[in-house]
Chain A
Amino acid sequence: DQQVKQNSPSLSVQEGRISILNCDYTNSMFDYFLWYKKYPAEGPTFLISISSIKDKNEDGRFTVFLNKSAKHLSLHIVPSQPGDSAVYFCAASEDAGGTSYGKLTFGQGTILTVHP
């Protein structure tokens, strides 16, 4: 059972436009959400995170929105740049009484291509 789902395997956008990557989750115990970016032949790198007590977190061109009632989060990149072309993974974690170590459950990833 996939607890974190990214239903769009790929997304193609024009440089300068907005990229919106979506992620859905089923486990209501998840309370911390992250986005990672991965280039080919490299490990994932942390991009941005959001706690369940917030509904928005912004960092430069990147904004993550969380809708807890819909169990949905999205990553907005504005404006998109060709260097943003990568695989984007959303991940979720539950506190589990402080014993979970922040174990991450990842989505399948979305390949973003930004065309010049």
Chain B
Amino acid sequence: NAGVTQTPKFQVLKTGQSMTLQCAQDMNHEYMSWYRQDPGMGLRLIHYSVGAGITDQGEVPNGYNVSRSTTEDFPLRLLSAAPSQTSVYFCASSLGLFETQYFGPGTRLLVL
């Protein structure tokens, strides 16, 4: 099992550019989520999905889109990057409600 994988590991964008952060899991988990980690803020939930075709907003969803067309993949899209989106992004998955969440290694994003 590869667990939760994220690509790329590091990305530099210019303001206004778009990109997609990839997340995949091979554990057949229904629940997947995206968090961002900023200094002094802990991890904050951006979007989550309780299954293929179902997504919902978390605490800080503005500027991000998600979709869940398969159980395995949960990409996070930045349509027009802003410097405020400079952060480390973590994807997580879990088998079910209140089950342990497994995190990917993170994507470090710098928006200039």
Interface residues of A (CB under 8 A from B): 4, 6, 32, 34, 36, 41-46, 49, 89, 91, 93, 98, 101-109
0/1 per residue, B46-66, Cβ < 8 Å to A?
001010000010110000000
- The answer to whether A43 and B31 touch across the interface, beta carbons within 8 angstroms, is no
A41 and B106 contact, Cβ closer than 8 Å, known pairs A89-B42, A108-B40, A109-B42: yes
Residues of B within 8 A of A108 (CB): 40-42
Determine if B79 is an interface residue (Cβ-Cβ < 8 Å). Answer: no
A43 and B42 contact, Cβ closer than 8 Å, known pairs A101-B48, A102-B99, A103-B48: no
Interface residues of B (CB under 8 A from A): 4, 31, 33, 35, 40-45, 48, 50, 56, 58-59, 90, 92, 94, 97-106
A102 and B94 contact, Cβ closer than 8 Å, known pairs A44-B43, A89-B42, A108-B42: yes
Query: A44 CA to B103 CA in the complex, in Å?
Result: 6
Please give me the residue from chain B that is nearest to A44 by CB atom. B103
- The answer to whether B42 and A106 touch across the interface, beta carbons within 8 angstroms, is yes
Please give me the residue from chain A that is nearest to B94 by CB atom. A102
- The answer to whether A43 and B106 touch across the interface, beta carbons within 8 angstroms, is yes
- The answer to whether B31 and A101 touch across the interface, beta carbons within 8 angstroms, is yes
- The answer to whether B104 and A43 touch across the interface, beta carbons within 8 angstroms, is yes
- The answer to whether A101 and B97 touch across the interface, beta carbons within 8 angstroms, is yes
A42 and B105 contact, Cβ closer than 8 Å, known pairs A102-B94, A109-B42: yes
Residues of A within 8 A of B106 (CB): 41-43
Query: A103 CA to B98 CA in the complex, in Å?
Result: 8
Q: State the 7 A-B residue pairs at the shortest beta-carbon distance, nearest first.
A: A43-B103, A106-B42, A106-B43, A102-B98, A46-B100, A108-B42, A44-B103
Contact pick for B50, options A36, A41, A101, CB 8 Å: A101
Query: A6 CA to B41 CA in the complex, in Å?
Result: 10
